[in-house]
Amino acid sequence: MIEQNTDIIFNKKVASGTFLMGLKSSEIVAEARPGQFVMIRLRLGTDPLLRRPFSICGTRGDDLFLILYKVVGKGTVIMSSAGKGEKLSVLGPLGRGFKLPEPGRKSLFVAGGIGVAPLVFLAQELKNNLVFIAGYRSSNEMIPMDQVGLGRTDISIATDDGTAGRPGLVTELLESHLAGPADDHPKIFACGPLPMLKLVASLAIERDIYCQVSLEANMACGLGACLGCAVGASKDGDRTYYHVCQDGPVFDVHALDWESL
């Protein structure tokens, strides 16, 4: 794990309320794995006091990593106004990322909104044999995949308001991709809001499909020290809870107690 003042190389708006930031650190790039995250301090003073967690959305070359983020509150408002030449203190890479599928195995990525971020990094690593489906509330929130380095990826879109792609939820799109025989089902990798992940998990468990999900939780430390990110573990295992920051954020769907989430 590295703690470093990193240079902002760019910070640009890519969709409604959504920014892509490039930060320079050859050390973090060398260690980063898809699904891992960093904790970013957004101001030198005490407001906001806590670092904020963000998935690593990919790397470029050997010294640039990307953060794709949505502006939702005080920290991300500050982040969106930061510019090239400024520095941000970054701690990471943290957590356990995705277990990569064996080569040749088909993968299905399911993203809800800003949940695209860690899956972009995973797609960058896998390169082929993957189908990406992403759901947004509306077309103005769609992430332009060429801007995050996935211009040629096969991607299907669903929007809640029907302004792009298939009208409806991304989980409905997912069901249409799972219509074939069980033997042909791809491995699922998902990230998005909790209600979406619950639906993805129940579909995967019901149909016995291998599935990993990247969870979000409120995180104060990111290091396993505060218990702020605890989530219930499946009753079949030997744990009662997991720290999302250390045991996750990526989990096999069978590891979690979905009813308590």
Ligand X SMILES: Cc1cc2nc3c(=O)[nH]c(=O)nc-3n(C[C@H](O)[C@H](O)[C@H](O)COP(=O)(O)OP(=O)(O)OC[C@H]3O[C@@H](n4cnc5c(N)ncnc54)[C@H](O)[C@@H]3O)c2cc1C
What are the residues binding ligand X (CB under 6 A)? 37, 48, 52-55, 68-70, 72-76, 114, 117, 216-219, 249
CA distance 172 to 133: 11
Residue 101 per-residue DSSP state? P
Q: Which is nearer to ligand FES, 123 or 229 (CB)?
A: 229
Residue 249 per-residue DSSP state? B
Q: Which does 221 bind (CB under 5 to 8 A by kind): ligand X, ligand FES, none?
A: ligand FES
CA distance 181 to 124: 28
For residue 206, give both structure tokens.
Answer: 């019901």
219 contributes a contact to ligand FES by CB under 6 A:
yes
Q: Which is nearer to ligand FES, 51 or 185 (CB)?
A: 51
Q: Which is nearer to ligand X, 73 or 167 (CB)?
A: 73
Coil, strand or helix: which one is 245? coil
Q: Which does 32 bind (CB under 5 to 8 A by kind): ligand X, ligand FES, none?
A: none
Site for ligand FES (CB under 6 A): which residue of 140, 226, 241, 254?
226
- Judged by CB under 6 A, the stretch of 20-28, 44-52, 189-197, 216-224 that binds ligand FES is 216-224
DSSP assignments along 159-208, one per residue: ETTSSSSEES-HHHHHHHHT-S-GGGPPEEEEES-HHHHHHHHHHHHHTT
Q: Which is nearer to ligand X, 120 or 199 (CB)?
A: 120
Site for ligand FES (CB under 6 A): which residue of 139, 220, 252, 254?
220
185 contributes a contact to ligand FES by CB under 6 A:
no
64 contributes a contact to ligand FES by CB under 6 A:
no
By rule CB under 6 A, what string of x and - marks binding of each residue 30-59 to ligand FES? ------------------------------
CA distance 49 to 45: 7
Q: How many positions of this chain bind ligand FES (CB under 6 A)?
A: 12
Site for ligand FES (CB under 6 A): which residue of 17, 149, 168, 228?
228
Q: Give me the helix-helix angle, 194-206 and 170-177, nearest 10°.
A: 20
The rounded Cα 41 to chain-centroid distance in angstroms is 19
Residue 71 per-residue DSSP state? -
Contacts of 204 (CB under 8 A, 6+ apart): 188, 210, 211, 253
Q: Which is nearer to ligand X, 167 or 193 (CB)?
A: 193
Q: Which is nearer to ligand FES, 110 or 231 (CB)?
A: 231
Q: Which of 52, 92, 53 lies closest to 74 in space, CA to CA?
A: 52
Q: Give the binding site for ligand FES (CB under 6 A).
A: 219-222, 224-229, 243, 245
